[in-house]
Structure 1
Amino acid sequence: MGHLLRRAYQRHVAIFQAAIPDSDLTAAQFVTLCAVKEQQSCSLNDIVKATAIDQATIRGVVERLKARSLIVVSPDPLDGRKLLVRTTPEGLALIDQSIPFAKQVSEQTFGGLNPAERVAIVYLLRAMTRAEEN
């Protein structure tokens, strides 16, 4: 089963990279940008929880987004040990530009699945990730 999940994920990432106009934006960066936008200002731990990307990887993703001026990282005024992450206007614009393409990516990832199969696979994937969280 792991092999099939990995192949499906690799296919999805390849579709994403081909469809998104910004060729430097990875799927991990996109989901991170979206998570930060949704939470407005959040810690690295918040991003890890929202994206299911491990702490070591998320640090690199955040650094690359910061280098592109898509996010701003600043110390938490209430807890100097924490960093807070916010999207910049450029980051918000890139999200808005990419959303229609991301929807196309989802559609292409489903491929030839009929509506019932699409609902079923999303349901099962959510059930699997919920099991991991408990």
Structure 2
Amino acid sequence: MTNLLAGATIVKSTSDLFNEIIPLGRLIHMVNQKKDRLLNDYLSPLDITATQFKVLCSIRCATCITPVELKKVLSVDLGALTRMLDRLVCKGWIERQPNPHDKRGVLIQLTADGAALCEQGHKLVGQDLHQELTKNLTADEVATLEYLLKKILP
């Protein structure tokens, strides 16, 4: 029996290549995924996902924002954001208002229910998420991690 693999080129998966080329990016991505899973767990009693919560919080910070501005803040596809906004309107958490500066555009703002949900979410998550994410780090390591991550950001 001949060895068919002798001299064969091993093709690496895209994931393997990404991990070799950008290992730090992969680690940051994995930490972000863990944070979102934890956030989903914390928010599940409120029947809201981490993604929906981030959208509501971004709107809350801006008070009134256009979909294009929100897209930039969240770094998401405008089509996906529009579908998300449609769901949030149906749940009664946000509303679209005509943009007085652009007759073709709209402004997004929280409803009273959306603002209340945002507050409930913040109280529910509190410091628990931060503590859960950093439970295996010392206080000095947390401070160093925060310092280094801030250096990466512009």
- Which amino acid is 1:58 matched to? L
Higher helix proportion (structure 1 or 2) = 1
Distance 1:54 1:123 in 2: 30
Distance 2:54 2:87 in 1: 13
Distance 1:69 1:31, change over 3 A: same
Percent sequence identity over aligned pairs: 23
Distance 1:61 1:110, change over 3 A: farther
The answer to whether 1:118 aligns with 2:142 is yes
Distance 2:84 2:42 in 1: 20
The answer to whether 1:84 aligns with 2:84 is no
Give the C-alpha shift of residue 27 in structure 1: 1.5
The answer to whether 1:32 aligns with 2:55 is yes
Distance 1:67 1:129 in 2: 36
Unaligned runs of 5+ in 2: 1-22
Instruction: From 14, 18, 23, give the equivalent of 2:37.
Output: 14
The answer to whether 1:106 aligns with 2:130 is yes
Count of paired positions: 129
| Superposition CA RMSD, Å | 1.8
Q: Secondary structure at the match of 1:84?
A: strand
Give the C-alpha shift of residue 84 in structure 1: 0.3
The structure number with the bigger radius of gyration is 2
When the two structures are superposed, what TM-score results if normalisation uses the length of structure 1? 0.83
When the two structures are superposed, what TM-score results if normalisation uses the length of structure 2? 0.73
Distance 1:120 1:6 in 2: 19
